[in-house]
Amino acid sequence: MLKTRVIPCLQLIGDSLVKTVKFNKFGYIGDPINTVRIFNELEVDELCFLDIRATLEKRKPNLELLKQIADECFMPLSYGGGVTSAAMAQQILSIGFEKIVLNTVTFDHPEIIREIADHSGVQSVVGSIDVKKNFWGKYKVYSNDGKRQHDFDPVTWAKKLEQNGVGEILLTSMDHDGTWSGYDTILIKQITEAVNIPVIANGGAGQINDIVKAVETGASAVALGSMVVYQAKGLGVLVNFPDRNKLEEAISR
Amino acid sequence: MITIVNYGMGNLGSVLNMFKKVGVEAKVTDNLNEIADATKILLPGVGAFDAAMSRIKAGGFEEILNKKALEDKVPVLGICLGMQLLTDCSEEGVLPGLGWIKGKTIKFSFTRTQNLKVPHMGWNLVKQVNASPLIADFPPDPRFYFVHSYFVKADEEMDVLMRTTYGHEFDSVITNGENIFGAQFHPEKSHKFGMKLFKNFSEL
CA separation for the pair B174, B104 (Å, rounded): 12
Give chain B's mean pLDDT: 94
B189 inside 8 A of chain A by CB = yes
Say yes or no to pLDDT of B75 above 90: yes
The predicted model gives A225-245 an average pLDDT of: 93
For B152, the 3-state DSSP assignment is strand
pTM of this structure: 0.93
Handedness of CA B81, B84, B86, B92 (dihedral sign): negative
Which chain A residue has its CA at the smallest distance from B10's CA? A120
Q: Which has the minimum average pLDDT: A92-101, A102-111, A113-122?
A: A113-122
How confident is the model at residue A253, as a pLDDT? Answer: 65
Radius of gyration of chain B (CA): 16
What pLDDT, in 10s, does the model give residues A126-171?
A: 999 999 999 999 999 999 999 999 999 999 999 999 999 999 999 9
Q: Which of A130, A145, A177, A184 is catalytic?
A: A130
What pLDDT, in 10s, does the model give residues A35-77?
A: 999 999 999 999 999 999 999 999 999 999 999 999 989 999 9
Say yes or no to pLDDT of B17 above 80: yes
CA separation for the pair A77, A92 (Å, rounded): 10
A198 and B195: CB-CB below 8 Å?
A: no
A248 inside 8 A of chain B by CB = no
The predicted model gives B112-128 an average pLDDT of: 90
Neighbouring residues of A240: CB distance < 8 A, sequence distance ≥ 6: A42, A227, A228, A231
Phi (first) and psi of residue A130, to 5 degrees = -95, 130
The predicted model gives B4-15 an average pLDDT of: 85
How confident is the model at residue A124, as a pLDDT? Answer: 92
For A246, the 3-state DSSP assignment is helix
Contact residues on chain A for B117, CB-CB shorter than 8 A: 196-198, 220
How confident is the model at residue B5, as a pLDDT? Answer: 95
A3 and B123: CB-CB below 8 Å?
A: yes
Q: Using DSSP bridges, classify how beta strands B127-128 and B160-166 pair: parallel, antiparallel or unpaired.
A: antiparallel
Phi (first) and psi of residue A216, to 5 degrees = -65, -30
Q: How far is CA A82 from CA A14, A25, A54, A63, B137, in A?
A: 11, 21, 5, 12, 44
| Residue boundaries of the structural domains of chain A | 5-251
Residue A130: active-site member: yes
Q: A5-251 is classed in which CATH architecture? A: Alpha-Beta Barrel (3.20)
Contact A127, A170 (CB under 8 A): yes
B2-202: CATH class: alpha beta
In total, the C-beta contacts within 8 angstroms joining chain A to chain B are 79
Radius of gyration of chain A (CA): 17
How confident is the model at residue A3, as a pLDDT? Answer: 86
| Residue boundaries of the structural domains of chain B | 2-202
What pLDDT, in 10s, does the model give residues A182-231?
A: 999 999 999 999 999 999 999 999 999 999 999 999 999 999 999 999 99
B121 and A123: CB-CB below 8 Å?
A: yes
Q: Which has the minimum average pLDDT: A4-18, B48-62, B106-120?
A: B106-120
Contact residues on chain A for B119, CB-CB shorter than 8 A: 123, 167
Reported confidence tier of residue B198, pLDDT bands at 50, 70, 90: very high
Q: Tabulate helix, strand, coil % of chain B (nearest 5).
A: 30, 30, 40
What pLDDT, in 10s, does the model give residues A3-41?
A: 899 999 999 999 999 999 999 999 999 999 999 999 999
Percentage, residues of chain B above pLDDT 90: 87
